[in-house]
């Protein structure tokens, strides 16, 4: 069974969101998502300064099986991309919630966070999908 | 087994060795001035004729091909190519014709190409066909470029979107983007059809067209195609038919009659021409009335004197232009022509009948053997999808594992992990040329793998066991692929052919 830390928020499309103390958020894909994708060989994260819209494709993860879009959980401006992933995309497989984060952003409307799922709701969503 | 088994021909090279060891060496006088001659020898292998023959024969024996084993990738990769197509396309009159030869010297070739266009028109229900595109992807590009030309000519340039169902081939959205459009994806419903509600919501004054494969990539026939055509046409958009799965409906239903405005046909799929290794292919396009003026040139037309000539920009001033220096891959087109002439109208219907019969038989047999079909309630077209979602969860047996273990049983794997919307899937396409015995053998191998997974998953996980190469590290193959031979160099940096005895 895949993990889903309690302190994160989740989307139906298997992204996670962590609220940081400075008001920014960190975004990645869930353990369940990396399991489905298999070993990643390439990650394309949005560049710092890019503005993204909630629900739109903003990053790409490519595994030995398939290339998939990552959807922005919130609208706002990207402040930093995880540059480690360019050389080590496997970090997403090894540590999806920690070292394998994809990008950080400043949300334009923090209330969008309320629409995301908590860990229990996400676990139920994964269960219903499988 | 020789220790040279896996060596490159360069590694078999020995200084001074030549094709025929015992024959006297020829030392040709050269008229090239000394200052223009190269200083060092070219980095080519020096090997005897016999070594070269053995090397390449061994390599060819490693081919896992339709000529040696059952290959359930089907027309997606390559159907069986009847040998007659090959021999007839190699007739000297065709083979030696120069592409710049004048029409008066090329009437035989032009006549066959005209007939090929006519047969393709007939089997697809389109108004005209151009054979110019050199591959399926170029055919797609041609088709969408014509859609764009049509809207532009009407001053209708606000149409920015091409609708693509999520079950589409990856080339469809790529083509739309290449032609300057934005892609709007719509979902597939649970039975594998396009979600009509989503389509109705998606169409509007921004819609340039929709790209559809029918039967779709999930292996079922889109039942409400007439309704889809009406919705898109009413919104002012055009319908693009991706001909990847034409094999299933050949001689039965015609894209033109379904309401499509443009279609590309992979002649190398449906019409049985060679297409391994990325080409050469042929992505012939057919058009309906609306797109006639924009057809690519050249294509073959009647010259009004009982003969044929190539149509040019003068005949088609609104053409989208030329796609290559000449008029398509002549050798491929000739093979398709011979194939179609051999089959005739009746034979072409039998192609789709046997392709779908074989697929449905295989689907039901695999279901009886314990596999789950992705769309069990639907009749399969020429292909169907098995999902190993349950087996992956319960036994740890993934689609990738089945693919590798099948190789040990002497079968090539079906398409794996496509389409993306079905988890742990195998897309199986037997094609019309396989016998019942071959299909039964495949089912037995699949059943044996399923049985083995319950008691010894480790053996499967480490497969293949019986092939010259074992399971690859797929991550390394994708990330750190290195296929460039590093030639040994001496201290001065000059090529240093190996010395010593051959292994």
A57 contacts chain B (CB < 8 A): no
Would B103 be classed as within a structural domain?
Answer: yes
pLDDT value at residue B496: 64
- B310: Cβ contacts below 8 Å, ≥ 6 apart: B103, B110, B297, B298, B299, B300, B301, B327
pLDDT value at residue B5: 63
Greatest C-alpha distance within chain A: 37
Would B435 be classed as within a structural domain?
Answer: yes
Taken in order B172, B175, B177, B179, the sign of the CA dihedral is: negative
Q: Are residues B138 and B113 in the same domain?
A: yes
Classify the complex by whether its ipTM is higher than 0.85, answering yes or no.
no
Measured CA angle at B161 (ends B155, B163), to 5 deg: 130
Q: Which of B302, B320, B341 is the last residue before a domain boundary?
A: B341
Confidence of residue A54 (pLDDT cuts 50, 70, 90): very high
Q: Are residues B233 and B361 in the same domain?
A: no
3-state secondary structure of A17: strand
Q: Are residues B380 and B310 in the same domain?
A: no
The 10 Å Cβ neighbour count of residue B179 is 19
Q: Are residues B230 and B98 in the same domain?
A: yes
**A64 contacts in B (CB within 8 Å)?**
474-475, 478
pLDDT in tens, B266-280: 998 899 888 755 668
**CA separation for the pair A37, A32 (Å, rounded):** 9
Q: Are strands B207-213 and B238-242 parallel, antiparallel or unpaired?
A: parallel
CA-wise closest residue to B141 among B184, B185, B177: B177
Would B196 be classed as within a structural domain?
Answer: yes
pLDDT value at residue B65: 82
Q: Are residues B180 and B294 in the same domain?
A: yes
Average pLDDT for A83-103: 95
Q: Are residues B336 and B371 in the same domain?
A: no
Taken in order B310, B135, B162, B374, the sign of the CA dihedral is: positive
**B478 contacts in A (CB within 8 Å)?**
41-42, 64
Would B357 be classed as within a structural domain?
Answer: yes
**A68 contacts in B (CB within 8 Å)?**
420
Confirm if A15 and A54 have CB atoms less than 8 A apart.
no
Q: Domain range holding B227? A: 84-341
Q: Are residues B325 and B406 in the same domain?
A: no
Q: Which of B341, B365, B385 is the last residue before a domain boundary?
A: B341
Provide φ and ψ at A108, rounded to 5°. -80, -20
CB pair distance less than 8 Å for A130 and B389: yes
Q: Are residues B231 and B368 in the same domain?
A: no
Q: Are residues B426 and B294 in the same domain?
A: no
pLDDT value at residue B482: 84
Looking at the structure of chain B, the number of domains it has is 2
pLDDT value at residue B132: 95
CATH value at residue B360: 3.90.1150.10
Q: Which of B341, B369, B386 is the last residue before a domain boundary?
A: B341
Q: How many residues does chain B have?
A: 503
**CA separation for the pair B72, B407 (Å, rounded):** 12
Which residue positions in chain B have pLDDT lower than 70? 1-5, 28, 276-279, 493-503
**Closest CA of chain A from B356, distance in Å:** 28
Would B9 be classed as within a structural domain?
Answer: no
Q: Are residues B229 and B328 in the same domain?
A: yes
Would B127 be classed as within a structural domain?
Answer: yes
Mutate to test the interface with B, among A41, A42, A89 (most CBs of B within 10 A): A41
Q: Are residues B335 and B352 in the same domain?
A: no
Q: Are residues B321 and B439 in the same domain?
A: no
Would B170 be classed as within a structural domain?
Answer: yes
CATH value at residue B170: 3.40.640.10
Would B358 be classed as within a structural domain?
Answer: yes
């Amino acid at each position: 069974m895949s993990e889903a830390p309690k302190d994160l928020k989740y989307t139906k499309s298997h992204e996670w969101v962590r609220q940081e103390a400075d008001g920014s958020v960190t975004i990645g894909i869930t353990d369940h998502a990396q399991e489905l994708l298999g070993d990643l060989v390439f990650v394309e994260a949005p560049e710092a300064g890019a503005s993204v819209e909630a629900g739109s494709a903003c990053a790409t993860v490519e595994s030995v099986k398939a290339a998939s879009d990552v959807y922005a959980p919130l609208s706002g401006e990207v402040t930093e991309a995880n540059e480690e992933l360019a050389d080590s995309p496997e970090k997403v497989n090894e540590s999806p919630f920690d070292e394998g984060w994809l990008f950080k952003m400043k949300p334009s409307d923090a209330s969008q966070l309320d629409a995301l799922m908590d860990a229990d709701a996400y676990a139920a969503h994964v269960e219903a999908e499988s | 087994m020789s220790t040279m088994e896996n060596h490159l021909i360069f590694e078999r090279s020995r200084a001074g060795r030549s094709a025929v060891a015992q024959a006297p060496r020829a030392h040709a006088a050269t008229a090239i001035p000394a200052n223009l001659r190269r200083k060092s020898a070219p980095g080519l292998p020096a090997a005897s004729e016999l070594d070269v023959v053995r090397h390449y024969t061994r390599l060819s024996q490693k081919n896992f091909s339709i000529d040696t084993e059952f290959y359930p990738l089907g027309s997606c990769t390559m159907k069986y190519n009847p040998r007659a197509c090959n021999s007839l396309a190699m007739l000297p009159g065709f083979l030696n014709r120069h592409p710049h030869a004048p029409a008066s010297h090329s009437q035989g070739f032009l006549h066959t190409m005209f007939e090929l266009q006519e047969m393709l028109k007939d089997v697809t229900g389109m108004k005209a066909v151009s054979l110019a595109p050199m591959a399926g992807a170029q055919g797609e590009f041609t088709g969408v470029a014509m859609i764009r030309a049509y809207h532009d000519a009407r001053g209708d340039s606000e149409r920015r979107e091409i609708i693509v169902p999520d079950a589409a081939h990856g080339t469809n959205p790529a083509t739309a983007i290449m032609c300057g459009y934005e892609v709007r994806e719509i979902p597939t419903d649970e039975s594998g059809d396009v979600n009509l509600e989503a389509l109705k919501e998606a169409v509007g004054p921004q819609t340039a067209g929709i790209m559809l494969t029918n039967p779709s990539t999930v292996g079922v026939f889109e039942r409400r195609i007439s309704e889809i055509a009406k919705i898109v046409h009413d919104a002012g958009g055009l319908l693009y038919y991706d001909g990847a799965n034409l094999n299933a409906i050949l001689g039965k239903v015609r894209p033109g009659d379904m309401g499509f405005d443009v279609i590309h046909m992979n002649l190398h799929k449906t019409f049985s021409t060679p297409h391994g290794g990325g080409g050469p292919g042929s992505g012939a396009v057919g058009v309906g009335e609306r797109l006639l003026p924009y057809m690519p040139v050249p294509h073959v037309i009647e010259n009004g004197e009982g003969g044929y000539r190539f149509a040019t920009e003068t005949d088609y001033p609104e053409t989208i232009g030329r796609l290559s220096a000449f008029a398509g891959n002549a050798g491929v087109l000739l093979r398709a022509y011979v194939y179609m002439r051999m089959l005739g109208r009746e034979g072409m219907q039998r192609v789709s009948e046997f392709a779908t019969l074989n697929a449905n038989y295989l689907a039901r047999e695999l279901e009886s053997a314990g596999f789950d079909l992705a769309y069990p309630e639907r009749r399969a077209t020429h292909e169907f999808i098995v999902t190993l979602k349950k087996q992956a969860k319960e036994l740890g047996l993934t689609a990738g594992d089945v693919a590798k273990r099948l190789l040990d049983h002497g079968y090539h794997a079906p398409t794996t992990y496509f389409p993306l919307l079905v988890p742990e899937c195998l897309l199986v396409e037997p094609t019309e040329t396989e016998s019942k015995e071959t299909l039964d053998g495949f089912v037995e191998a699949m059943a044996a793998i399923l049985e083995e997974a319950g008691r010894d998953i480790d053996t499967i996980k480490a497969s293949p066991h019986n092939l010259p190469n074992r399971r690859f590290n797929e991550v390394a193959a994708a990330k750190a692929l290195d296929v460039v031979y590093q030639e040994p160099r001496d201290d001065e940096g000059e090529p240093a052919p190996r010395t010593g005895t051959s292994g």
